[in-house]
Amino acid sequence: MLILGVESSCDETGLALYDSDAGLLAHALHSQVAMHQEYGGVVPELASRDHIRRVIPLAREVLAQAGRELNALDAVAFTEGPGLAGALLVGAAFAKSLAFALGVPAVGIHHLEGHLLSPLLSKRPPAFPFVALLVSGGHTQLMRVTGVGNYELLGETQDDAAGEAFDKTAKLLGLDYPGGPAVSKLAESGRPGRFKLPRPMIGSNDLEFSFSGLKTAVMLLARSQPGDAATHADIARAFQDAVVDVLVAKCMSALQRTSLERLVVAGGVGANRQLRAGLDAAAARQGFEVFYPELELCTDNGAMIAFAAALRWKGGLPKPDTTFSVRPRWELSLAG
Angle at 272 between CA 293 and CA 91, to 5 degrees: 55
Q: Does 14 bind ligand ATP (CB under 6 A)?
A: no
Taking each helix axis from N to C terminus, what angle separates 85-102 and 44-66, rounded to the nearest 10 degrees? 30
- Count CB atoms within 10 A of the CB of residue 97: 14
Around 192, how many Cα atoms within 13 Å sit in the side-chain half-sphere?
7
Site string for other proteins, 78-117 (x = CB under 8 A): -------xx--xx-xxxxxxxxxxxx--------------
User: Comparing C-alpha atoms, which of 76, 58, 77 is closest to residue 66?
Assistant: 58
| Residue 89 exposure: Cα atoms within 13 Å on the Cβ side | 9
The DSSP call for residue 300 is: S
Closest by CA to 132, choosing from 147, 122, 123, is: 147
Select from 53, 185, 273, 314 the one that contacts other proteins (CB under 8 A).
53
Q: Site map for ligand ATP, 184-203, x if CB under 6 A?
A: x-------------------
Angle subtended at Cα 287 by Cα 281 and Cα 290, rounded to the nearest 5 degrees:
60
Handedness of CA 87, 89, 95, 101 (dihedral sign): negative
Q: Judged by CB under 8 A, does residue 325 bind other proteins?
A: yes
Stretch of 16-24, 126-134, 310-318, 321-329 contacting other proteins, by CB under 8 A: 321-329
Alpha-carbon distance 313 to 324, whole Å? 19
70 binds other proteins per the rule CB under 8 A: yes
Can you tell me which of 22, 23, 56, 125 binds other proteins, judged by CB under 8 A?
Answer: 56
Q: Which is nearer to ligand ATP, 24 or 265 (CB)?
A: 265
Q: Which stretch binds ligand ATP (CB under 6 A): 48-56, 64-72, 178-186, 278-286?
A: 178-186
Rounded CA-CA distance 69/86 in Å is: 29
Closest CA to 161 of 187, 136, 183: 136
Distance CA 17, CA 68 (A): 9
Cβ nearer to ligand ATP, comparing 105 with 267? 267
- Which position among 181, 213, 320, 328 is part of the footprint of ligand ATP (CB under 6 A)? 181
The answer to whether 278 contacts ligand ATP (rule: CB under 6 A) is no
CB of 139 to ligand ATP, least distance (A): 4
Cβ-based nearer residue to other proteins, 68 or 262: 68
Instruction: Pick the stretch among 160-168, 213-221, 294-302, 317-325 that binds other proteins (CB under 8 A).
Output: 317-325
Residues near other proteins, by CB under 8 A: 38-40, 43, 45-46, 48-49, 52-53, 55-57, 59-60, 70, 85-86, 89-90, 92-103, 322-326
Residues near ligand ATP, by CB under 6 A: 9-10, 83, 111, 136-139, 163, 166-167, 178-181, 184, 267-269, 271-272, 299-300
